[in-house]
Amino acid sequence: MANLNIRNKQERTYQAIVVGSGASGGWAAKEFGDLGVKTLLLERGRDVKHIKDYPTTNMLPYEFKHRGKLPQKVLDENPIVSKCYAFGEDSEHFFAKDAEQPYIQEKPFDWIKGYQVGGKSLLWARQVQRWSDYDFEGPARDGFAVDWPIRYKDIAPWYSHVEKFAGVSGNLDGLDTLPDGEFLPGYELNIVEKHFAQKLKETYGGDRHMISARCAHINGPHEQFTAQGRAFCQNRNLCQRGCPFGGYFSSNSSTIPWALKSGNVTLRPDSVVHSIIYDEEKGKATGVRVIDAHTKEMEEFYADVIFVNAAAINSNAILMNSTSSRFPNGLGNDSGVLGKYFAFHNYRAQVNGSYEGFMEYTTSGGRPTSGYIPRFRNVKKQETDFLRGYAGGFSAYRGGGYVADARVGMDLKNNMLNPTPPDGPWRVGSHMMGETIPKESNYIALDKDKLDPYGLPTLKFNVSYDDNDEKMILDYQEQVSEMFAKAGFTDIRVNDDHRTPGLDIHEMGGVRMGKDPKTSMLNGNHQLHAVPNVYVTDGACMTSTSTQNPTLTYMAFAARAAHHAVSESKKG
């Protein structure tokens, strides 16, 4: 490949390079911008500007040719991304198609990708629950993975920092398992959800709870968000289209425009990072090699500090592809753990039921969140024959609608135009979010013989469930069924949808943090042990997974690490 370094090297030199513009990369760029660090923000996908590049955001249902459904041809060509619940006619353009980056499934793995400025922050479920020390202390207490080099006190101020800017709605629930944060008013639980929460409190002596899930939505106006050009959430529930109000947090609506406004940050879309340049004499990284997504030509950019925020899997891939005589097995990979101890969240099980109470009530309007059951299993001590536990989603809703089996003709027409008021019982449902245990045998690696459309090695996946996961599924089904029964719910049914790992879109690990360079890649400041001017603060850095939706933690990590990098550079 031609190496056309025609532009002056100085023009291609910055103080910091951030690889990836999703939730974590956007935060690194924003902090660097605020701190006066000249930064290059690289994104492999196209540019997506807030509002301007949300083509479907204000479309009405009848303006979609297929009323939201994707053509069969698209589904046939994209068997993997088609499995994602959010992939539809209104959001298709924010997902990377399967052919963009083929990969090898030694074991089945659904890899869902968002390749554009903002990454998957345009598409995420916006659930932001803090970790507690019950989570950070998990591996050390239960003897798996390695001990996290940080604790809650290290990250708590950064959670606050991120929450205040991103906008997080939630209630002060006072739970030690799910610390409270800097919240805007929380969203209301409905009458049946409140009933369930109350019954749990009564039945389980304060050990089990159901709360309004904290979400990255602006519930109520606030000066800080006006300064970002964002307004409060309108309960549209069309978030996957991009929000014209900036009602939920995305890099596009929040951190990236803020970073660009600082004048210190340069955004460069269509830039696929090939590898990180390691200078053996200096003993540090000096820049990155970038493939232009259109011309496929390679160019180098240089900086004092490199942040790798390419999303968990690609951050692994970039380090693996960054080889030198000092690091023949990937940058910073003295321990040999790069790509290993890869984990995810187990979303396989659901429990559903009915509730015959509050028959005179229903709900109206919209809300962007629902209920959340914080982890209650094995929290303070080991209770079961499996390690760790699970959180649960929870919601209650009332049916109603038109009678679809009415006789054709005027009967059917009048039925459709006059939906029946809800007459059946409330429906209640929960889904599990289980911690999986990182293991050496769950790994991702590169196949350097098979190249992708950019000439980069393809990834191969060897990730699967284990016995611990199977036991946890049964326990979740049993416990939540019992909780439903105690609340008076009936017609309780459990399900295991046997989904493939990856569809949770919570892939984590491979570049884990740890105290010991012999068994981990990163130190407690997210620096590669062996190359301290390279930081990884996205899902790749996760030592363990716990049960919370992880994005908030990546954002806090990125902000904290950016400040660390700046304080290190001041030390000279």
The binding site for other proteins (CB under 8 A) comprises 58, 60-62, 65-67, 69-73, 187-191, 193-194, 234-238, 358, 360-367, 404, 407-410, 412-414, 416-418, 421-422
The string of DSSP codes covering 497-557 is --PPTTTTS--B-SS-B-S-TTT-SB-TTSBBSS-TTEEE-SGGG-S---SS-SHHHHHHH
Matching residue, tokens 């100085």: 10
What is the sign, positive or negative, of the torsion defined by CA atoms of 415, 421, 423, 429? positive
What value does the CA radius of gyration of the chain take, rounded to a whole number of Å? 24
Q: Which is nearer to other proteins, 221 or 453 (CB)?
A: 221
Q: Which is nearer to other proteins, 193 or 304 (CB)?
A: 193
Q: At what angle do helices 467-486 and 191-203 cross, to 10 degrees?
A: 100
Evaluate whether 214 touches 197 at the Cβ level (below 8 Å).
no
Q: Which SS3 state, helix, strand or coil, does residue 58 take?
A: coil
Q: Which is nearer to other proteins, 25 or 368 (CB)?
A: 368
Task: Choose among 332, 262, 251: nearest CA to 530.
Answer: 332
Q: Which SS3 state, helix, strand or coil, does residue 36 take?
A: coil
CB 164, min distance to other proteins, A: 24
Task: Choose among 200, 230, 218: nearest CA to 371.
Answer: 200
Contacts of 408 (CB under 8 A, 6+ apart): none
Q: Residue 408 CB: number of other CB atoms within 10 A?
A: 7
CB 357, min distance to other proteins, A: 12
CB 196, min distance to other proteins, A: 12
CB 169, min distance to other proteins, A: 12
Matching residue, tokens 């994602």: 84
Q: Which is nearer to other proteins, 66 or 493 (CB)?
A: 66
- Segments in 94-250 forming alpha helices (H): 133-136, 138-142, 152-166, 191-203, 223-227
CB 365, min distance to other proteins, A: 4
CB 372, min distance to other proteins, A: 15
Q: Which is nearer to other proteins, 183 or 386 (CB)?
A: 183
CB 240, min distance to other proteins, A: 14
Q: Which is nearer to other proteins, 144 or 358 (CB)?
A: 358
Q: Which is nearer to other proteins, 89 or 334 (CB)?
A: 89
Residue 380 and residue 359: Cα distance in Å, rounded? 39
Degrees to nearest 5, angle at CA 139 with 138 and 140: 95
CB 114, min distance to other proteins, A: 23
Q: Which is nearer to other proteins, 316 or 369 (CB)?
A: 369
